[in-house]
C-alpha cells in the first residue's frame, strides 16, 4: 500500500494509528487539531467501524468537530464531559521533557484546556517536531482583539528580560485580515529562535494584559508517539522514563485514508 502517501504523511499516520490503540471502550477522548490530529480522528473512526469501539470525543476546534461528526464519531462539549480519560493531539515542537509548543493551527486555547482536563495527554508527531530547545517554531500567543497592539508592545517589553534569542512579534494574518480564533481572538506569533526557560516564559506571558493563553505546554504531555516515514514509531513516556520502538505495518485498506483532507 501507501505508494500515494508521502513519507511525512506515513509518519503522521503510524503515530496516529498507534495512539488510536490507547482508546478503550467507553472513554471520553480529547481530539486535537491539525493535520496529524486529523489522521487520529480517521484512525478512530476506522476502529469504530471495524471493531465496534464506542467512545465520546471532545473536539478542540470547529475544524476537528466537523471532521469527527462527518466520520460518525459521537461528539460532546467539554462542559458536558467535564473530565476526560485521554487527549490525543499534535504539536509544533517537543523537547526531551515532553514540553511543547502548540498553536500553529490556531487552536491552542481549547487544546490547552482540554488537555489539562484529561487524565493523560498523548502527543502524536513526525520526527521533525523533536527539538533540543523549544523556540525555533514561532510561539503562538492568543490575545483579545481589544488593544492587541498594546498587548503586543507590553509583550515585547517583557521579552527584553526573558532568556530568548529573538524578540520579533507578528500578528497572524488570514489573507488581508487578522486571523480570528474559534473564540474570536487574535494570535501573536513570537519569533524567539531559542527559549532558555520555557516554564518562566509561559508564566510571564499570561501576566500580560490582553493575553488569553500561550502555546507553551509545560508538564501537560505524558507520552509522545513519534512517527517515521518508514513506519517506525518511538513511544516516549515521561512518567515511566521509557522509550519504546515498534514497526507499524501499512495495509491495503489504509488507502481509505488518502483521499480525506484535514
Position 104 contacts ligand 5RP (CB under 6 A): yes
> Of residues 24, 25, 80, 111, which has the active-site annotation?
111
Query: C-beta of 135: minimal distance to ligand 5RP in Å?
Result: 15
Out of 40, 43, 108, 114, point to the residue binding ligand 5RP (CB under 6 A): 108
Q: What is the torsion angle, in degrees rounded to the nearest 10, for the CA atoms of residue 179, residue 183, residue 189 and residue 195? A: -160
Show the site string, 51-90: x = touches ligand 5RP by CB under 6 A, - = not.
--------------------------------------xx
Position 138 contacts ligand 5RP (CB under 6 A): no
Phi first, then psi, for residue 123 (nearest 5°) are -105, 135
User: Residues 100, 222: contact at Cβ < 8 Å?
Assistant: no
3-state class of 118 per DSSP? strand
> Of the candidates 129, 110, 11, 16, which has an alpha carbon nearest to the alpha carbon of residue 63?
110
Q: What is the torsion angle, in degrees rounded to the nearest 10, for the CA atoms of residue 121, residue 183, residue 162 and residue 167? A: 120
Query: C-beta of 48: minimal distance to ligand 5RP in Å?
Result: 22
Out of 9, 46, 85, 92, point to the residue binding ligand 5RP (CB under 6 A): 92
DSSP string, 64-88: HHHHHHHTT-EE--HHHH-SBSEEE
Q: Calculate the alpha carbon distances from 64 to 57, 80, 97, 105 in Å.
A: 10, 17, 27, 11
Q: Calculate the alpha carbon distances from 142 to 104, 153, 163, 255 in Å.
A: 11, 14, 21, 37
Q: Calculate the alpha carbon distances from 19 to 37, 40, 90, 215 in Å.
A: 10, 7, 11, 22
Q: Contact region for ligand 5RP (CB under 6 A) — 26-34, 50-58, 206-214, 233-241?
A: 26-34
Position 103 contacts ligand 5RP (CB under 6 A): yes
Query: C-beta of 185: minimal distance to ligand 5RP in Å?
Result: 13
> Of the candidates 154, 133, 128, which has an alpha carbon nearest to the alpha carbon of residue 143?
154
Counting residues that bind ligand 5RP (by CB under 6 A) gives 18
* Catalytic residue check, 252: no
Query: C-beta of 206: minimal distance to ligand 5RP in Å?
Result: 17
Q: Contact region for ligand 5RP (CB under 6 A) — 43-51, 106-114, 146-154, 181-189?
A: 106-114
Q: Contact region for ligand 5RP (CB under 6 A) — 31-39, 46-54, 199-207, 223-231?
A: 31-39
Position 111 contacts ligand 5RP (CB under 6 A): yes
User: Residues 211, 152: contact at Cβ < 8 Å?
Assistant: no
Position 116 contacts ligand 5RP (CB under 6 A): no
Residue at grid coordinates 504531555: 221
Out of 73, 107, 143, 164, point to the residue binding ligand 5RP (CB under 6 A): 107
Q: Contact region for ligand 5RP (CB under 6 A) — 15-23, 100-108, 156-164, 183-191?
A: 100-108
Residues interacting with ligand 5RP, by CB under 6 A?
32-37, 89-92, 102-108, 111
Would you name the residues annotated as active-site residues? 111
Amino acid at each position: 500500500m501507501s505508494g500515494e502517501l508521502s513519507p511525512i504523511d506515513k509518519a503522521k499516520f503510524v503515530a496516529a494509528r498507534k495512539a488510536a490503540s490507547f482508546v478503550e471502550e467507553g472513554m471520553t477522548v480529547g481530539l486535537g487539531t491539525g493535520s496529524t490530529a486529523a489522521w487520529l480522528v480517521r484512525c478512530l473512526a476506522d476502529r469504530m467501524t471495524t471493531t465496534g469501539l464506542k467512545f465520546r470525543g471532545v473536539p478542540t476546534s470547529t475544524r476537528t468537530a466537523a471532521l469527527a461528526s462527518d466520520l460518525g464519531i459521537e461528539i460532546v462539549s467539554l462542559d458536558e464531559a467535564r473530565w476526560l480519560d485521554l487527549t490525543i493531539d499534535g504539536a509544533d515542537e517537543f523537547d526531551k521533557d515532553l514540553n511543547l509548543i502548540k498553536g500553529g493551527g490556531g487552536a491552542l486555547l481549547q487544546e490547552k484546556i482540554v488537555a489539562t482536563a484529561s487524565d493523560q495527554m498523548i502527543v502524536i508527531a513526525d520526527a521533525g517536531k523533536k527539538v533540543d530547545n523549544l523556540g525555533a517554531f514561532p510561539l503562538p500567543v492568543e490575545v483579545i482583539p481589544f488593544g492587541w497592539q498594546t498587548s503586543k508592545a507590553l509583550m515585547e517589553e517583557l521579552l527584553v528580560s526573558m532568556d530568548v534569542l529573538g524578540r520579533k512579534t507578528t500578528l497572524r494574518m488570514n489573507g488581508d485580515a487578522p486571523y480570528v480564533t474559534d473564540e474570536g481572538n487574535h494570535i501573536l506569533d513570537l519569533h524567539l529562535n531559542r527559549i532558555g526557560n520555557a516554564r518562566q516564559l509561559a508564566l510571564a506571558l499570561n501576566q500580560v494584559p490582553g493575553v488569553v493563553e500561550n502555546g507553551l505546554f509545560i508538564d501537560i504531555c505524558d507520552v509522545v508517539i513519534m512517527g517515521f516515514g518508514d513506519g517506525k514509531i518511538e513511544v516516549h513516556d515521561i512518567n515511566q522514563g521509557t522509550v519504546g520502538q515498534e514497526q507499524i505495518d501499512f495495509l491495503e485498506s489504509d488507502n481509505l485514508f488518502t483521499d480525506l483532507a484535514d
